[in-house]
Structure 1
Amino acid sequence: MDYHVKDLSLAEKGVLRIEWAEKEMPVLRQIRKRFEKEKPLKGVKIAACLHVTTETANLMITLKAGGADVYLTASNPLSTQDDVAAALVKEFDIPVFAIHGEDRDTYYQHLYAVLDKEPNITMDDGGDLISTLHKEKQNLLDNVFGGTEETTTGVIRFKAMEKDGVLKFPVIAVNDAYTKHLFDNRYGTGQSTIDGILRATNRLLAGSVFVIAGYGWCGRGVAMRAAGMGAEVIVTEVDPLKALEARMDGFRVMPMIEAAKIGDFFVTVTGNINVIDKHHFEVMKDGAIVANSGHFDVEINIKALEELSVSQRDIRENVREYRLPDGRNIYLLAEGRLVNLAAAEGHPASVMDMSFANQALSAEYIYKNHDSLKPKVYKVPDELDFEVARLKLNAMGIQIDQLTEEQKEYLSSWEHGT
């Protein structure tokens, strides 16, 4: 089997961790049970560019149970868990091309490796797989039925491709499923971002000023958790509606240049470039801690910080100190990459359970319907979103009411008045 991982001897540890995650992924277990019987993906080649974690491993195992040939590479050089990669190769016969800390050249070699398997379906987390396919592997496009995308960042990229008329196959925006973005982005990113910051720094949040750039679902989640740990939360935004919502939720709102002067912790979750820039670093307090929880390492202008500094050193694991000419120190976490995955373990399994259930069902949907789908970005069909929610409630032992025929008629009629 063709693969490239750090060390197969790590597999035993990886198997145990995959099993531990599976215990909190009941939705995916229910889907896997059906997949094992029906084999809805039999003969389909799936190339996945996702964070190589225990939760992703359970998705790969589920897709393989459905009959698919699965090939996995990492969507971030610092998010790969080497023991999980080894376990997938050695114990589950799933080819993986990912090594924690790999350089940029190796990262793209791994992308090419899974694309060279001539996939029928792609799974992306950030959009690198589909972008590379369109730019450098166009000869393989005819093999592709469609793809899925896990993140806001990737969906933005593919909608831009659709607008420019260059997207060559349908993409389902898994990120936009209600059971994904509500739970994954708010509860998952909220908890795991704080987890990553605490593991990296061991600093107390209570009594600190915690600045969050962006008040989308991820920003809402981080704000909720930071406030819950006693921090004073400040939100910076460019969207007046989101800024208003943040204020009505009880948080201070101001421009980043003002927040930069008083913040102790900074987290970017916007999906945009240079959200924290040179002029912000110039006014930050001594000891300011800066982290990113958006997909790419572009939200913090690291080059500007390097140019401003007179010296740099790694003072702790995942903490780099930048000393400025006036003696102030600014601390960058996890190289400006996803702090929740680079410095911690990413989202809890129970959150990723719903995200990856959407991935599995969307792959099945693409295979069954690709002949009628156009090269555009689609939302996850409501019936799939509802099915994930139903399976989750079933796993939690929760029952809900059903509309009566009378109620259905009332809701569908315009004739009933006051």
Structure 2
Amino acid sequence: MTATQAPVKHEVKDLSLAQLGKQRIEWAGREMPVLRQIRERFARELPLKGIRLVACCHVTTETANLAIALKAGGADAVLIASNPLSTQDDVAASLVVNEGISVYAIKGEDNDTYNRHVRIALDHRPHIIIDDGSDVTATLIQERQDQMSDIIGTTEETTTGITRLRAMFADGVLSFPAMNVNDADTKHFFDNRYGTGQSTFDGILRATNVLIAGKVCVVAGYGWCSKGVAMRAAGLGANVVVTEVDPIRALEAAMDGFRVMPMSEAAQIGDIFVTLTGNKHVVRKEHFEVMKDGAIVSNAGHFDIELDLKSLREMAREVKDVRPFVEQYVLPTGKSVVVLGEGRLVNLAAAEGHPSAVMDMSFANQAMASEYLALNKGKLEPGLHSIPREVDTEIARLKLNAMGIDIDTLTEDQLHYMSSWKEGT
């Protein structure tokens, strides 16, 4: 933003942090070659010109690179936080000062501020919403019916958000298309598994500095995010226990070599707990009551309601801050339960979130999903839509190229064989 430009509207912690944020955004960008190529194409083609866009995302260095790409494509964008503890304040400042993007995000903002920022974003009267948990979309439907006609569509990249969108559609209130970014192969196979697996333990280790090897690590759920956490826990030497409600996923966890049991049993033996289910109160009063003294409880699912912290507070005779992002709940028995990051996403509350290299693909999907909505305005039916296969494949191809990896291509004879039913044994 030059001196002659009017300052953009914003609510961030401290604009003087902008230079540090710029350096960190550029560092992350080094690991995001796919999004960089998309940004360069967007700058030439301007597929989002004239589009008012709201992005409700974790305000990190990776998200900053997405926001810069969207602006390069012509979007008039506003960015807000999707979680009160996930904002990197220097990044928010840099986007305002150096990129001229309106940002409403402050690390540690309370729920009232968070909800106010959602409504400020809707005041932008968006055509496209990039959501992370579907809070903006849900608020639009509940409170801003007069703006529904403005909406071209929304994109969603979390399991929690997709679950909410399906419920909206089932209730007959989702009257516009929603792109299911979360289920793109180049998103959930990589971001959910490798990104969550690494960043969750990054958060746990930064917060506690405990040794993982030899500990009993209880992983709640066995979706793609949970698989990543279980894999990394095992790699660090933990004895991994998985809890599940889905028989197929429970069977898969058992065949992957993990112990599987109900949370009521796991709660008694666990040293470290990580929830990643997308549901509420996965760890609750009866579980806290039987935990070991000093058990560490964390959440890597989207919302903090995976842990029943209200009941834990009511149980505790004392709550102490013992380290940054580490709270010790002392129970009447004298035992304590340790909660990380206020029960919010531990990888973002206590660390920096997913590595840039994996978010490169996730945010490439978000950028191209936004472009797809803009190019197909009025052509898509209401409800969830998958990312087109050709888009998913192109993102994977660009990532392989950036990694210097070549793969085979089918010969003419192989192509003929794959399309014929006459050749056999």
- Identify the TM-score tier after normalising by the shorter chain: over 0.9
Deviates more, 1:85-94 or 1:405-414: 405-414
Letter in 2 for 1:399: D
Structure 2 residue aligned with 1:47? 54
Letter in 2 for 1:393: L
Structure 2 residue aligned with 1:276? 283
Structure 2 residue aligned with 1:143? 150
Deviation, structure 1 residue 366:
0.4
1:161-217: per-residue Cα shift (whole Å, max 9, x none)?
111111021000101000000110000000000000001111000111000000100
Structure 1 residue aligned with 2:3? none
1:68-125: per-residue Cα shift (whole Å, max 9, x none)?
1111000000000110000000010000011111111111111111111111100000
Structure 2 residue aligned with 1:411? 418
Structure 1 residue aligned with 2:34? 27
Structure 1 residue aligned with 2:126? 119
Structure 2 residue aligned with 1:367? 374
Kindly report which structure 2 residues correspond to 1:292-303, keeping only aligned pairs within 5 A, or say none. Answer: 292-303=299-310
Structure 2 residue aligned with 1:216? 223
- In structure 2, distance between residues paired with 1:47 and 1:356: 15
Letter in 2 for 1:338: L
Kindly report which structure 2 residues correspond to 1:19-418, keeping only aligned pairs within 5 A, or say none. Answer: 19-418=26-425
- In structure 2, distance between residues paired with 1:370 and 1:239: 38
Secondary structure at the counterpart of residue 40 of structure 1: coil
Secondary structure at the counterpart of residue 305 of structure 2: coil
Letter in 2 for 1:72: L
- In structure 1, distance between residues paired with 2:210 and 2:9: 43
Deviation, structure 1 residue 49:
0.3
- In structure 1, distance between residues paired with 2:115 and 2:336: 34
- In structure 2, distance between residues paired with 1:336 and 1:138: 33
- In structure 1, distance between residues paired with 2:16 and 2:93: 7
1:333-388: per-residue Cα shift (whole Å, max 9, x none)?
11100000000000000010000000000100000112210110111111110110
Secondary structure at the counterpart of residue 332 of structure 1: strand
- In structure 1, distance between residues paired with 2:407 and 2:293: 53
Between the two proteins, what is the percent identity of the paired residues? 64
- In structure 1, distance between residues paired with 2:385 and 2:25: 31
Letter in 2 for 1:240: P
- In structure 1, distance between residues paired with 2:122 and 2:143: 10
Secondary structure at the counterpart of residue 269 of structure 2: coil
Letter in 1 for 2:281: N
Letter in 2 for 1:258: E
Letter in 2 for 1:259: A
Secondary structure at the counterpart of residue 101 of structure 1: coil
Q: Structure 1 stretches of 5 or more lacking a match?
A: none
Deviation, structure 1 residue 126:
0.6
The TM-score normalised by the length of structure 1 is: 0.99
1:228-256: per-residue Cα shift (whole Å, max 9, x none)?
01110000001111111111111111111
Aligned residues: 418
- In structure 2, distance between residues paired with 1:193 and 1:372: 40
- In structure 1, distance between residues paired with 2:64 and 2:146: 29
The TM-score normalised by the length of structure 2 is: 0.97
Secondary structure at the counterpart of residue 298 of structure 1: helix
Secondary structure at the counterpart of residue 374 of structure 1: coil
Secondary structure at the counterpart of residue 306 of structure 2: coil
